[in-house]
A and B are shown apart, each in its own frame.
Chain A
Amino acid sequence: MNRHLLSTADLSREDALLILDTAEELSRVSGRSIKKLPTLRGRTVVNLFFEDSTRTRISFEAAAKRLSADVINFSAKGSSVSKGESLKDTALTLQAMGADAVVVRHGASGAPHRLANWVDGSVVNAGDGTHEHPTQALLDAFTMRRRLGELDGRRVTIVGDVLHSRVARSNVHLLHTLGAEVTLVAPPTLLPVAMGEWPCEVSYDFDSVLAKSDVVMMLRVQHERMNASYFPSAREYSRRYGLDPDRLGRMPEGAIVMHPGPMNRGMEIAAEVADSARSTIVEQVTNGVTVRMAVLYLLLSGSEPAIGGNL
């Protein structure tokens, strides 16, 4: 039986807590002089990136290497994909090379799911189109848990371009599973049409939810996906939905500010806010490696994966 991490909606509460607990133990490894564990020796992890990414790819690579796995990096640029090779043929090539896990980022929603049908190894979704980015949500939950304790009943506000955000989708499902209450805040044009089944609240007014948020997560305005005019001007967006020092001051004491990166400083988040003590943005990057180690460990170390969904 093979299992994959394609969507946070596939994770049971038990699975999610197992990942977070495992990450908690693994976080101690990064404090050691030898930051390496022998656990995945002889296993091969392929990073298959069809879309640009710095932190996610590096983070997965560091995680796999710290567990002693062999890492093969594959990016669409400079590969046979630019000669027109299909996803399926790429998958079959990886299959022939004996990949135990394929970490895939693709511009098309659902590509990892297709891939999972074609390879024997576990597939980890590292972001597919506007669908999901499960390890980002896991590292966000891990960061929140470290700062705030257990997430049951915590109020998380996710602000910005929800329409194009795979981070928001993954976070909504995972945080709901973990017992947090999620509110999405965005201009109506940047919310998906069919949100009826999403386990969260929706608001158009940032200021009204600000005062009762334990976590405010700012999403990046994704200029590369903005093929229509979703808001009148950057200044107006920033004024209504940006997190500036004034809004930071109105957040409850102890509340934290998150951002999945890369940031548009001055757009969705002011530079002072991003650099403030309540911002967890740098921690999120550090925690990313740890959480991805936990995911790879739980998927690959045993005779069968301990987490994730079946197809």
Chain B
Amino acid sequence: MNVARNQVRDDPEPDGGRAGDGGRPREDGPPHDGERAVLEAPDINRALTRIAHEILERAKGPERLLLLGIPTRGTFLARRLAERIEQVEGHPVASGSLDVTMYRDDLRLRPARALGRTVLPEDGVDGRIVVLVDDVLYSGRTVRAALDALNDLGRPTAVRLAVLVDRGHRELPIRADYVGKNLPTSRAETVRVCLRETDQRDAVLLRGGQR
């Protein structure tokens, strides 16, 4: 009944014929049997560096940028991207987190769940270029919820989307602006993102399904 923070939000579609709760990391700890790494720490590192440059290039400078991660792992990725942009530009970049639980469309399909944390800069989102950051892009429903949540918080100049892994199977007309890796998957497979901050190591693991 009481859901741990890092399990709070995973992709919706509870009846989507996926293995387990699939689609999103549910557990911490060591790799499971039959899991293989599709991205290792250096790959993730390179992908984040590239995304950081892409974000910066398109925004024409770091001043108005706000990187908002979707908890749990999106928050850490947003922080890492902000640090990287800061290293390149020597100018601090705002980052924070945006919990979308209250805006989800699948709340009634499961028991009530605990909330994640929303942390915004003092001056809010108005006039900022907001980059939403998440670990896995799947159905797109989380991002839809994030756009609604953002709408209640203010009016950014622009909203963009950065994800570490895009595994396909979109259910809404949403696409990412910055993608670490496009990972064609079947719905039967599970993608698990591990990050140092919560899982002791950096990796993207794929499990299950017939490939």
A residues at B contact (CB < 8 Å):
14-15, 18, 21-22, 25-26, 28, 32-34, 36-39, 297-307
Contact = CB atoms under 8 A, between A and B. Distances in A.
B148 A38 contact: yes
B113 A302 contact: yes
A-B interface, 4 closest residue pairs, ranked by CB to CB distance from nearest: A302-B112, A306-B112, A25-B115, A302-B111
A306 to B, nearest CB: 4
A298 B118 contact: no
Nearest to B119: A28
A299 to B, nearest CB: 7
A18 B114 contact: yes
B112 A301 contact: yes
A304 B109 CA distance: 9
Nearest to A26: B115
B118 A304 contact: no
A107 to B, nearest CB: 31
A306 B1 contact: yes
B153 interface: yes
Contact of A39 (B107, B109, B117): B107
Contact of A25 (B1, B116, B148): B116
B112 A36 contact: no
A306 B8 CA distance: 13
B47 interface: no
Nearest to A306: B112
B102 A37 contact: yes
A2 to B, nearest CB: 12
B114 A33 contact: no
Nearest to B1: A306
Given A34-B153, A302-B107, A21 B114 contact: yes
Nearest to A23: B115
Contacts, number: 62
Interface of B: 1-2, 99, 102-103, 107-118, 148, 152-154
B110 A38 contact: no
17 contacts: A18-B2, A25-B115, A26-B115, A28-B118, A32-B152, A33-B154, A37-B103, A38-B102, A39-B107, A298-B112, A299-B112, A301-B102, A302-B108, A302-B110, A302-B111, A302-B113, A303-B108
Given A14-B2, A15-B2, 17 more contacts: A18-B2, A21-B115, A25-B117, A28-B118, A33-B154, A34-B152, A37-B152, A38-B102, A297-B102, A297-B112, A301-B107, A301-B108, A302-B107, A302-B112, A303-B111, A305-B111, A307-B1
A289 to B, nearest CB: 15
B87 to A, nearest CB: 30
A180 to B, nearest CB: 21
A25 B118 contact: yes
Nearest to A32: B153
Contacts of A28: 118
A307 B1 CA distance: 8
Nearest to A21: B114
B116 A303 contact: no
Most chain A CB atoms below 10 A, which of B103, B115, B153: B115
A306 B152 contact: no
B153 A38 contact: no
Contacts of A33: 154
Nearest to B154: A33
A10 B16 CA distance: 36
Contacts of A298: 112
Contact of B111 (A22, A26, A304): A304
A304 B108 CA distance: 8
Nearest to B149: A37
Nearest to B104: A39
A303 B114 contact: no
Nearest to A299: B112
Contacts of B99: 25
Contact of B113 (A32, A300, A306): A306
Nearest to A296: B112
